């Protein structure tokens, strides 16, 4: 061994020993600095369509547009899908892979507020089928509704009435809540098998109030039923109501209204909503539901910038 090599090894050993000794004097309570991270921002394929006549965009194209705009995930609206066969489902999953963007949410339409048990069973079967569709696409969350009374036939009229409608004649709210709770309980086994967490949305019907949503979620009392928070479905006093949902929230749908809302416009304070969610340690997706009249080609990028700014904490 040369003198130069021996000198190098001796020096290296001294450095290592010094480092080890320094480690002995590091306070036991020292922890790595915690990095504050923002929420990933997704977009619902609904944002590209909004049920506007002759303006439906294919789900595959929505995935491509979402990736190109810089979103972090895509939520698929079930009614927007062209088919349900496995080949189509895997095609959507492959498109998302190639575009480098995950499929993070699945939004379905169903309801359990029906006096006829057969009609409720039809919706239970539909929900179970949709859980399987989400599983096949690798989607971990699925939006549920309570369903509504359907005593107001026109959705436009329902919106004019702020989502309020009279109950079915002779049916109490307590009975309707029992229908919804019992129906959802019948879907839990499939949700657990597939690893799909359902989120009950604050929507119309029995989900019109936070108390209604939480009554159902607490009664079902399962990790496979939590809350999908929709920022635009409380038309009055939204922040206190959203705060009631925050502890059980696993997914957030965030509305924007560029060009004026299709049915109404809310001036939502997203930095305030972001602070509310951070208080409850919500780290999940914020999924854009653009519901305005502006062309989606300009409104969706604006919405992304708005949400990215609100849900990215200051360094």
Model confidence, pTM: 0.87
Q: 22 pLDDT band (50/70/90 cuts)?
A: very low
Q: For residues 288 and 119, what is the distance between their CA atoms, to the nearest angstrom?
A: 32
pLDDT at 159 over 90: no
pLDDT value of position 243: 98
From 158-162, 181-185, 308-312, the region with the lowest mean pLDDT: 158-162
From 105-109, 154-158, 202-206, the region with the lowest mean pLDDT: 154-158
Is residue 311 within 8 Å of 39, Cβ to Cβ? yes
Average pLDDT value for residue range 28-34: 53
From 154-168, 178-192, 217-231, 288-302, the region with the lowest mean pLDDT: 154-168
Q: Residues 6 or more apart from 239 whose CB is under 8 A from it?
A: 269, 272, 273, 276
pLDDT value of position 32: 55
pLDDT value of position 153: 85
Burial of 53 (0-12, 13-18, 19+ CB in 10 A): exposed
pLDDT in tens, 53-65: 878 999 999 999 9
Show the domains of the chain with their CATH numbers.
38-311 (3.20.20.150)
pLDDT at 21 over 50: no
pLDDT in tens, 232-242: 999 999 999 99
Residue with tokens 């999908």, as numbered in its chain: 228
pLDDT at 218 over 80: yes
Is residue 187 within 8 Å of 198, Cβ to Cβ? yes
pLDDT value of position 106: 98
Q: For residues 259 and 43, what is the distance between their CA atoms, to the nearest angstrom?
A: 18
Q: 10 pLDDT band (50/70/90 cuts)?
A: very low
């Amino acid at each position: 061994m040369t003198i130069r090599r021996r000198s190098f090894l001796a020096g290296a050993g001294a450095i290592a020993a010094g480092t080890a000794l320094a480690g002995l004097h590091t306070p036991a309570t020292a922890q790595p600095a915690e990095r504050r991270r923002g929420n990933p921002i997704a977009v619902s394929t609904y944002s590209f369509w909004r049920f506007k006549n002759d303006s439906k965009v294919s789900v595959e194209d929505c995935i491509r547009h979402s990736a190109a705009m810089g979103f972090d995930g895509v939520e698929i609206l079930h009614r927007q899908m062209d088919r349900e066969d496995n080949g189509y489902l895997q095609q959507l999953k492959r498109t998302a892979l190639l575009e480098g963007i995950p499929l993070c949410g699945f939004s379905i339409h169903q309801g359990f507020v029906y006096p006829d048990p057969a009609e409720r069973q039809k919706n239970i079967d539909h929900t179970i089928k949709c859980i399987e569709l989400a599983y096949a696409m690798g989607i971990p969350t699925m939006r549920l509704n309570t369903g509504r009374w359907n005593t107001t036939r026109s959705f436009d009229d329902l919106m004019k009435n702020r989502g309020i409608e009279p109950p079915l004649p002779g049916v109490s709210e307590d009975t309707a809540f029992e229908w919804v709770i019992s129906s959802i309980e019948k879907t839990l086994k499939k949700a657990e098998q597939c690893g799909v967490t359902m989120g009950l949305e604050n929507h119309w019907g029995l989900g019109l109030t936070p108390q209604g949503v939480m009554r159902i979620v607490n009664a079902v009392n399962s990790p496979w039923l939590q809350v999908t928070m929709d920022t635009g479905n409380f038309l009055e006093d939204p922040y206190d109501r959203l705060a009631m949902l925050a502890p059980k929230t696993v997914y957030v749908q965030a509305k924007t209204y560029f060009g004026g809302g299709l049915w109404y416009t809310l001036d939502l304070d997203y930095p305030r909503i972001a602070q509310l969610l951070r208080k409850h340690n919500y780290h999940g997706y914020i999924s854009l539901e653009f519901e305005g009249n502006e062309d989606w080609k300009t409104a969706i990028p604006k919405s992304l910038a708005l949400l990215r700014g609100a849900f990215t904490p200051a360094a």
